[in-house]
Structure 1
Amino acid sequence: MRKKLLPVALAGVALAAGFATPAAAAPGDTIVTLTVVGAGGLTITVPASANLGTGTEGSTVSGQLGSVTVLDQRASLTPNWTASVISTDFVTGGGTASETIPSINVTYWSGPATATSGDGTFTPGQPTAADAQIINVPRTAFSHTGGTGSNFASWNPTVEVAIPSGAVGGVYTGTVTHSVL
């Protein structure tokens, strides 16, 4: 009888040991994601109008346009941008040769930033009056390189118009266009 009890006893001990100590559960991983989006895109704002003042033929008039701001809310890993500027001819009356100041007579300098935010490098296209450029073709007004995330820069550019000899009297109107890419 002893022979029969031993295997039954061992089986009972093994069964009891299995219930007495539960096996450890394997760890469970949860992959969690979230999305970061920019609050907006890349925009530029400019003054609606500016008056450079009054001058005579053969003289030069100049003045600041007012605040130009590039706002980069793309939340980019590489938030690089370049703001460009170009001018049209300035005309009065019927726009004849004597009523036109060609855009080759229009110069621009951005000056330094009046405000910035974000990291990276903000670079004025023309930091001083000595750096002024003719804007009959697109010129770099301001740029941003490096850093990450969102940023902005503002500047108050100066425009100078050389009035040619022989220009007739009148209110001359031209368009200075800023754009950003």
Structure 2
Amino acid sequence: MRRTLVISPLIAGAAAVTLAFPVPATAADTPVTVQVTSGTLDIAVPTGPVNLGTASVSGSAQTVSSQLGNVTVTDGRGGTAGWTVTANAVDFTGPQTISVSAPGSSSYDTPQASVSGTATVTPSDLEPLYPANPVQTATAVNGINSATWNPTISLTIPGNALAGTYSSTITHSVA
């Protein structure tokens, strides 16, 4: 008895395609990496000078205050680490010295920051202006972010202060 082998045209076509495109004898994988580099953590402050106001000579203490101008932190590190801004000032000097370290002598009133990116930024008022303490703290950071605020600086001028111009420097640091 003879058997007849019938090959379907579909199977024959698939076999022809397989023979036309040979399979490699071996295969190997190549690991590939990419590095995303970190940016910087920066702070920008007003260049000044900023005038806190004018007070007349008086036998009583007087308070002057003004907004400092925009302070901006730009976090380009692209990570999840938070940051803290501290601020402080040195005593005002002029015809005499006006202290910024005595209780009630000075303050840095910190408003809520305008934030872009992902970060929870919490303000803290600073009173007095010395020593340095936090004024903004960022937590829940994820990637690039920035925060901008405009603090109000107040100074109490003691009674019987000598007439003249007084000056100080406010220092901001971010870490």
> Shared topology, TM-score over 0.5?
yes
Give the match for residue 140 of structure 2.
Answer: 146
Distance 1:24 1:48, change over 3 A: closer
Pairing partner for 2:67 from 64, 67, 72: 64
| 3-state SS of 2:54 partner | coil
Q: Distance in 1 between matches of 2:72 and 2:23?
A: 65
Q: Distance in 1 between matches of 2:83 and 2:44?
A: 14
Bigger-Rg structure (1/2): 1
Give the match for residue 33 of structure 2.
Answer: 33
Q: Distance in 2 between matches of 1:179 and 1:172?
A: 24
Give the match for residue 163 of structure 1.
Answer: 157
**1:86-125 alignment, distance < 5 Å:** 86-93=88-95, 99-104=96-101, 105-113=105-113, 115-125=114-124
Q: Is this contact kept in 2: 1:109–1:159, CA < 8 A?
A: yes
Give the match for residue 169 of structure 2.
Answer: 175
Give the match for residue 83 of structure 2.
Answer: 81
TM-score under structure 1 length normalisation: 0.75
Q: Deviations over 1:116-152 (max 9, x none)?
A: 11113111123xxxxx521211111111112322111
Query: Which amino acid counterpart does residue 67 of structure 2 have in structure 1?
Result: Q
Overall identity of the aligned pairs, in %: 40
Point out where structure 1 has 5 or more consecutive residues left out of the alignment: 1-19, 94-98, 127-131
Point out where structure 2 has 5 or more consecutive residues left out of the alignment: 1-18
Runs of 4+ aligned residues of structure 1 deviating over 6 Å after TM superposition are none
